[in-house]
Amino acid sequence: MAVGMSGGVDSAVAAWLLREQGEVLCVTMLLADECGGARSCCSGDAVERARSTAAALGLPWHELDLRDEFRDAVVDPFVARYEAGQTPNPCVACNRFRLRRLLEWAGTHGAAAIATGHYARLRRRRGDLVVLQRAADNGKDQSYMLWQVEQDVLAAMSLPLGGLTKKEVRRLARTAALPVADEPESQEVCFAPYGYRSALADRGVKPRTGDIVAADGDVLGRHDGQWRYTIGQRRGLGIAADEPLYVLERRVSSNQVVVGPRSALQTLTVTVGEVDDRGLNKAPELSVQLRYRSAPVPVAKLAFTGGDGVVATLAEPFEAAAPGQSAVFYDNDVVVGGGTITGQGTCDSLRRVLSPREPHATHTGGDSWMGT
């Protein structure tokens, strides 16, 4: 068993639990040169914590340098999509990339399976089909972040923390006297320790001044780069108005940032592309999660649009659905599909022409920021 070890308490406890079941190899993946933040998952401090934890457990430790591959597979596509007006979640793409590479590494070192400290569960369906299920600790659930992991990787995975709460994991770490038992949570994305604006600028995304406009086209102010704004943003607009204004949309073609009242952020329909269907039609209790830390929203109707697209009509409004973000579909607590948000329809326009349970035919662009 090859265990991905990040230097935090979760992967350390996963390795400790699996040690009792057989031979364990600890592997720390180097992903980005910019891992300078103390709370990043692959900073120098984190790598040293992983090495020392493996030593404390009496387990062999390996370092896997994936920096060039990670840049090509995760960082460069993130930058390109952000410039194109989307708000991709790099952690979703990172999990798919690094777990694939961990499995490949394991195969060349005599290990048939891999494990991580993610909070999610795996369930077998219809023979050898393996699906993701939410963790027992809903507050820590990471199934949303794992939805892009391919079936063959899931089939070779173990997630020993899926049935535990974070409190229980901390307690186990102290029982085992692990040196990272009280280590704080990793909060920084490895290639952006100083924030995404800085990371994008460092990778050549140039300032480009343009207009901040109302939905009707009235010019309200100026900006120095549409990529510096996020859907739902209220502060830092530099606009005096009678009511609070929020970023509603980034229009790349016209280099405009569209703002409006908070009510305009709400949507009842979401268009989703690049869909991986793992049983959407067979889900009796279909819901969709549209941001990492958001609650799932019941789906009133799902329409397949041809190719790999769907339109989800929501049973209740959602605020600031973001093109580029992941839409992950659940049947109760099991992942049955996922895709990338491509657009949304506003509640106001929907209510003018349709009843709440009917599908919406017109969708406008937009994106929002979500923390990871």
Residues designated catalytic: 94, 190
Q: Burial level of 234, CB count in 10 A (0-12/13-18/19+)?
A: exposed
DSSP 50-80: HHHHHHHHT--EEEEE-HHHHIIIIIHHHHH
Tell me if residue 47 falls in helix, strand or coil: helix
Q: Long-range pairs for 99-105 at CB < 8 Å and ≥24 separation?
A: 99/4, 99/149, 99/153, 99/157, 100/149, 100/150, 100/153, 101/29, 101/64, 101/66, 101/69, 102/2, 102/4, 102/27, 102/29, 102/64, 103/2, 103/152, 103/153, 103/156, 105/2, 105/27, 105/62, 105/64
Please give the sequence-ordered ranges of beta strands (E in DSSP) within 96-191, or none if there are none. Answer: 114-115, 121-125, 129-133, 157-158
| Token couple for 370 | 């979500």
Residue 179 and residue 348: Cα distance in Å, rounded?
54
Tell me if residue 145 falls in helix, strand or coil: helix
CA 43 to chain CA centroid, Å, is: 20
Could you count the other beta carbons within 10 Å of the beta carbon of residue 160?
20
In the beta sheet, which residues pair with residue 287? 298, 330
What element of type H or E holds 46?
helix 44-57
Residue 218 and residue 370: Cα distance in Å, rounded?
28
In the beta sheet, which residues pair with residue 221? 212
